[in-house]
Structure 1
């Protein structure tokens, strides 16, 4: 067993019973014809907006009982993170997008150039009573390798960096606490390189990136990368 394999095994036991550190994607994201522009941004954002109006099991809006919150994470390919978080109870909506950079309204091609400073991220709308932020952090640490700088598996580039973009001071404190706990416990063989910074702007990705795994589960990339990740995390059989 390699040192990295041992670290992965330790993480399974110490995090949440989930497996850790599956790689992100390496192939270009072009199975579907891309569409860009304001219309696609609006359609992408509809996923988050619609979540606020979904009735609960008793037919009443969720917000009548609890205030929904948002969280934003980056850890390699957003297709992978989206597929993971969509299967977490309490997460109402997951939107793939871009954040952490300086260029407004970036396109996928712009982000892929590495010149915008943006990372591929997912923004969640979640019920904190069902899925507390601390639980979302555990999923975050478990579903990617936070010790590789600007890389997930064979995927290289700053757009694939590990990053937590907090929405408020409570999220910042929770992220710092979880980072310290993992570091003190020696869960990972190498130092965690995850960035932590406030969210300044989030830009939904093009429509063809949204719900990618759900729409393209038989695609070669999904079968090679996302399916094994979901199985390791015990989110699918």
Structure 2
């Protein structure tokens, strides 16, 4: 992903990355997305390894956005609206640590915004929000067939 000087990055794990990527791609100000793996301990993670649950990675969407058109806070709010942040290590029928809810932040401002948003949204849920807010580590791009998967298949949403 080519990150320009005036552009910023955001990275989120919200279960299966296909539908999450598709939703973010529809937002004005989102310039580019890439699905992949982050938050684990294996270099060069791939889909088969991540699905084994042994690498510690989450399925994530890396977003390049124009902060003059969309703010990070708006992206964080969209992230929380796109999935159930109270489900631990799962989203719907997808179960495993790779489907965990996580905000991977790139700087202190992103960390603060994610944490404040998480706390502000907690009263809207009956169960505790389990979303991790953690520093962004290496991003391993997923295999090409996962990139913009729903668009390639001609569908607009996942089964969830």
Q: Normalized against structure 2, the TM-score is what?
A: 0.95
Matching of residue 194 in structure 1 with residue 131 in structure 2: yes
Is the 8 Å Cα contact of residues 30 and 65 (structure 2) preserved in structure 1?
yes
SS at the partner of 2:151?
A: helix
1:181-220 equivalences under 5 Å are 181-183=120-122, 186-218=123-155
Cα RMSD for the two superposed structures: 1.4
Q: Which has the higher strand share?
A: 2
Give runs of ≥4 in structure 1 deviating > 3 Å: none
Larger Rg: 1
Shift of 1:154: 1.4
Equivalent pairs counted in the alignment come to 160
- Kindly provide the CA deviation profile for residues 98-132 of structure 1, in whole angstroms up to 9, marking residues without a partner as x: 00000000110000000000000000000111110
Is the 8 Å Cα contact of residues 18 and 158 (structure 2) preserved in structure 1?
no
Unaligned runs of 5+ in 2: none
CA shift in 2, pair 1:175/1:224, >3 Å: closer
Correspondent of 2:159 among 225, 229, 232: 225
Shift of 1:225: 2.0
Unaligned runs of 5+ in 1: 1-47, 53-62, 227-237
* Mapped partners of 1:114, 1:174: distance in 2: 29
